[in-house]
A and B are shown apart, each in its own frame.
Chain A
Amino acid sequence: NAGVTQTPKFQVLKTGQSMTLQCAQDMNHNSMYWYRQDPGMGLRLIYYSASEGTTDKGEVPNGYNVSRLNKREFSLRLESAAPSQTSVYFCASTTNPGLATDTQYFGPGTRLTVL
């Protein structure tokens, strides 16, 4: 049981390049989330998927797209990377949003640098 996995762990891009960050969970969770973490700003929600087949914008969605490929996988795409997207990206998942047992589990993160 690996929990939440993310690939790649590190990536360096040039401005304008595109890439997709991958996230997968093996806990049969319904909801998945993408956050970015920047120094002094905590974690901010980019996009989330409450259930398979649905996606919604979070606090900072500009410049990103997402795909909920199936129940296990939720990818984040940068179509044209910008230096402002240099950050650490975390994926998270949870099984029952809003219930008392609900807890988000986080992946190990992807450190992205855009030159």
Chain B
Amino acid sequence: AQSVSQHNHHVILSEAASLELGCNYSYGGTVNLFWYVQYPGQHLQLLLKYFSGDPLVKGIKGFEAEFIKSKFSFNLRKPSVQWSDTAEYFCAAQTGTASKLTFGTGTRLQVTL
């Protein structure tokens, strides 16, 4: 069965620090990959997605992610985080035609001033 792993459960950074959140998936076939963000008290919003083509994907709010097929990874990066980036971040993988998503357990990012 497909699974998604996020090894960083809680990350604390100072404003302006660089961010990298890890995401690994286990599935041998074609897979679509997503990063969603959930701000406190809000619903999930799409940050970025990868379907095919350029493995470096740029999303909203300065986030980007790189798909490395050989490592089964899709890590999320941002060069300089802001206090407003405090949120929970979920990596998800999608396979098959029913668009079902398998989510990782999430990484809680706390940005301090």
Answer yes or no: A94 CB below 8 A from chain B CBs.
yes
Q: Find B100's partner among A41, A45, A100, A107 (CB 8 Å cutoff).
A: A45
Q: C-beta contact mask, B73-100 vs A, less than 8 Å → 1, else 0?
A: 0000000000000000010101011111
Q: Which of A58, A59, A98, A100 has most B Cβ within 10 Å?
A: A98
**Contacting chain A: which of B11-19, B64-72, B103-111?**
B103-111
CB atoms of A90 and B44 under 8 A apart: yes
CB atoms of A97 and B97 under 8 A apart: yes
CB atoms of A42 and B106 under 8 A apart: yes
In Å, the complex CA distance between A45 and B49 comes to 19
CB atoms of B105 and A41 under 8 A apart: yes
Given contacts A41-B105, A43-B90, A100-B51, contact A33 B9 (CB under 8 A): no
User: Which B residues fall within an 8 A CB radius of A?
Assistant: 4, 6, 9, 32, 34, 36, 42-46, 49, 51-52, 90, 92, 94, 96-106
For the complex of A and B, the 8 pairs showing the least CB-CB separation, nearest first, are A97-B99, A42-B103, A98-B97, A106-B44, A43-B103, A42-B105, A100-B51, A106-B43
